Structure 1
Amino acid sequence: MTTGKWRLFGGLAMAAAIATGSSAARADSWKYAFEESLTEVQGVYAQQFKKYIEENSDHEVQLFPYGTLGESADIMEQAQAGILQFVDQSPGFTGSLIPEAQVFFVPYLLPTDQAHLARFYKESKAINEDFKKLYADQGLELLTMFPEGEVAMTTKEPVKSCDDLNEVKFRVMTNPLLVESYKAFGATPTPLPWGEVYGGLQTNIIQGQENPTFFLYSTKIYEVTDYITYAGHNNFTTATMANEDFYNGLGKDDQKLIQDASKAAYDYIVDYQKGLADQELKKIMDAKPEMTVTVLNEKQRSCFKNAAKEVEAKFIEMTGDSGKAILDQLKADLAATK
């Protein structure tokens, strides 16, 4: 009788310990790194992702803004190694890892209309099916891609045609197709990590760079350039990913939680960006009234659009049948979401 009681109590204690252990296992702390500050678009998205996870589970999400864990290449390596559970990185930096991701740098492929872009990223077969397979080949679970705004060129001299970029050392991300784009535009493309860009412009090592408007303001790049030019040639794309082994090791409930958090953050960030570029441009002009802003007309854009054909051909040459299939599917998706 006594032995039976102890067995019963022992069994209950073990069950309680297992239950406690299970609960602790469910309440994990996940690490998420991104390429911008907390107050920039990727940071705002990350905060919404974190908020959803923490409000709907016992998990914690730790956020690591740009610079806290190194440059873009560093956080990607950490995500692939499983040190980070989540990473947000532009295809501009994953282009050497996933060559087909460079398609987002084919000039004039993406529209400038925000509503169209929002539908496209959400519904695109290329993004939500084809790219998922390509990212999985690199040990990454692609959660979502989203736009960050029309890209603007900032330079020290005015740009009204491709001729104005002749011999201009133009900073680009370490992306082979972006290098080809600026060669086709007439510039001298100069790949540099972001941490060297402000100083490079300040010391005239480079004379230009491109980024969305909000980033021009938040990073104070306007302080070391004098002209902002909108040629309509691109919209900045970024992607959020999970380490694939981590993601596949989760239960279905946690996988659904992550997918739902991604969707909620996507809807939030698309709405958040409405009017953001105009607001941030006004801040730039308030801080530096002598800054010249130019929106190129169709005639002025013609040389850039002609160069885009050359870049598209180069993309297909770099990526072969796989790249061509992605490009064709993206074009079909863009037409379907107009």
Structure 2
Amino acid sequence: MARVLPKSFAAAVAAGIALSASVANAETWRYAFEEALDEVQGVYAQKFKEEVEANSDHTVQLFPYGTLGESADTMEQAQTGILQFVDQSPGFTGSLIPEAQVFFVPYLLPQDTEKLGEFFRTSKAINEMFPELYAEQGLELLTMFPEGEVCMTTQEPVTGPPDLDQVKFRVMTNPLLVESYKAFGATPTPLPWGEVYGALQTGIIQGQENPMFFIESTKMYEVTEVITCAGHNNFTTAVMANKDFYDGLSEEDQTVIQNAIDVAFDHIIDYQKGLHEESIEKIKEAKPSMQVNTLSEEERQPFVEAGASVEETFLEMTGDGGKKILDQLKADLEAVQ
């Protein structure tokens, strides 16, 4: 004769089975980025992790810069599936996805944080055109976001392109960024980030560029004397997933990821308000002799004129595909201006 279990007991067993299935399906997802935990990419990654773990049984393991090698290493790990997520600037993916170099066309992007946020949130080029290009490289483009105005740090003041003549200037391994600094009159020198501080300290190079928060947090002011903001660019980064991994997820897990991406995006745009100015204050406090110069519109004009040739170089490098991307980006920017 079959024994009838009490309803409460049966419910407990069912709940236990459901919990076991849930635990069995829980995974640890690995996410690498190019900065420290307390820098912009790290702040974004932590918010993404918080959202995923609050809304699923999965765990996100974060790997800040240097823990898994240089940028080229983490990209390879993302493409092969060792990493599920990677945050990397188009500065390092430019050779992989040439069209992504469009973000290094000088004076293309505005400096206003709110306008930038709206542009990245609504851009057809970013949200519809770029994902196809990333997919060809085995990557699911989840989002792109700005990290702040890029400024130059040098040993001598820079008021125009002639002041960069013969200056060995560190750039990311990005063909278009190399062309930009050639146009500005410098001698571009591609170097992995881990070698930059020492190279500035020993005089192998005399300059580099980065957002102000990064100049402050990495103490670039210790080995340079002048910061110059010429308004020529805003640092852009991209969060990607391994495409096979992403495509193999349930619809529920994909929704968890997309929601976490959106929440983290809003968080990082808000986080950056006033960050540029706060970083300048910290730099001046740490090194009162540091010169921080923001070029006027008139002073920027020679850089604007010199940078015009870089757009032509971009089009030569990327052909019709690059032209479509650039045209759409300009239309997207006009819509938010």
Tell me the TM-score normalized by structure 2.
Answer: 0.95
Partner-residue secondary structure (3-state), 1:284: helix
1:246-299 deviation line (CA, Å, top 9, x unaligned): 000000000010000000000000000000010011000000010011111122
Structure 1 position 225, deviation (Å): 0.3
Cα deviation, 1:20-70, whole Å, max 9, x if unaligned, reads 764234311000000000000000000000000001111100000000000
Task: Tell me if 1:264 matches 2:281.
Answer: no
Q: Distance in 2 between matches of 1:246 and 1:21?
A: 23
Q: What percentage of aligned pairs have identical amino acids? A: 71
Aligned to 2:192: 193
Please state whether the residue corresponding to 2:68 is helix, strand or coil: coil
| Counterpart check, 1:90 vs 2:76 | no
Q: Which residue does 2:98 correspond to in 1?
A: 99
- Whole-angstrom distance in 1 between the partners of 2:321 and 2:276: 34
Which amino acid letter does the alignment assign opposite residue 139 of structure 1?
G
Residue matched to 1:304: 303
User: What secondary structure sits across from 2:148 in the alignment?
Assistant: strand
Whole-Å separation in 2 of the counterparts to 1:50 and 1:328: 35
The one-letter code sitting in structure 1 at the alignment partner of 2:295 is L
**What is the alpha-carbon distance in structure 2 between the residues aligned to residue 22 and residue 248 of structure 1?**
21
Does the 8 Å contact 2:168/2:205 carry over to 1?
A: yes
Query: Which amino acid is 1:26 matched to?
Result: N
State whether residues 130 and 141 of structure 2, in contact with CA within 8 Å, keep that contact through their aligned partners in structure 1.
yes
Measure, in 2, the Cα distance between the counterparts of 1:238 and 1:157: 29
Structure 2 unaligned runs (5+)? 3-13
| Residue matched to 2:148 | 149
3-state DSSP class of the match of 2:147? Answer: strand
Kept after mapping to 1: 8 A contact 2:104/2:176: yes
Q: Deviations over 1:168-188 (max 9, x none)?
A: 000000000000000000000
Kept after mapping to 1: 8 A contact 2:23/2:57: no
Q: Who is 2:114 aligned against?
A: 115
Give the residue type in structure 2 aligned to 1:79.
A
Q: 1:24 to 1:300 in 2, by over 3 A?
A: same
Q: What is the match of residue 29 of structure 2?
A: 30
**Matches of residues 23-62 of structure 1 in structure 2 within 5 Å?**
23-62=22-61
Cα RMSD between the aligned structures?
1.7
In structure 1, the partner of 2:286 is: 287
Q: Which residue of 1 aligns with 2:164?
A: 165
CA distance in 2, matches of 1:103, 1:219: 26
CA distance in 1: counterparts of 2:22 and 2:42, whole angstroms:
29
Distance 1:278 1:321 in 2: 40
Report how many residues are paired: 328
Counterpart of 2:78 in structure 1 is: 79
Determine the C-alpha separation between the residues in 2 that align with 1:20 and 1:258: 21
Q: Distance in 2 between matches of 1:212 and 1:331?
A: 23
Q: In structure 1, what is the equivalent of residue 6 of structure 2?
A: none
1:323 to 2:322 alignment: yes
Letter in 2 for 1:48: K
Distance between the aligned counterparts of 1:298 and 1:268, measured in 2?
Answer: 31
Secondary structure of 1:331 counterpart: helix
Asked whether the equivalents of residues 27 and 59 of structure 2 are also in contact (C-alpha less than 8 Å), the reply is: yes
Give the drift of 1:337: 1.4
Distance 1:294 1:244 in 2: 43
Report what 1:9 is aligned to. none
SS of corresponding position for 1:210:
strand
Instruction: Return the alpha-carbon distance in structure 2 between the equivalents of residues 57 and 23 of structure 1.
Output: 9
Q: Distance in 1 between matches of 2:252 and 2:201?
A: 50
5+ long unaligned stretches in structure 1: 3-14
The letter of the residue matching 1:100 is: E
- 2:320 and 2:311 map into 1 onto residues whose CA distance is 13
Aligned to 1:145, what secondary structure does the other structure show?
strand
TM-score (norm 1): 0.94
Q: Which secondary structure state, in structure 2, belongs to the residue aligned with residue 138 of structure 1?
A: coil
Superimposed CA distance per residue, residues 74-129 of structure 1 (whole angstroms, 9 cap, x where no aligned partner): 00000000000000000000000000000000000000111100100000000000
SS in 2 for 1:270: helix
- Off by >6 Å, runs of 4+ in structure 1: 15-18
Partner amino acid for 1:37?
Answer: A
The separation in 1 between residues aligned to 2:44 and 2:237, in whole angstroms, is 11
Structure 2: distance between partners of 1:184 and 1:21: 61
Q: Which residue of 2 aligns with 1:67?
A: 66
Aligned-residue offset at 1:16: 10
Shift of 1:308: 1.6
Structure 1 residue 302: deviation in Å?
A: 1.3
Matches of 2:130 and 2:142, distance apart in 1: 10
State the AA in 1 paired with 2:99. Answer: E
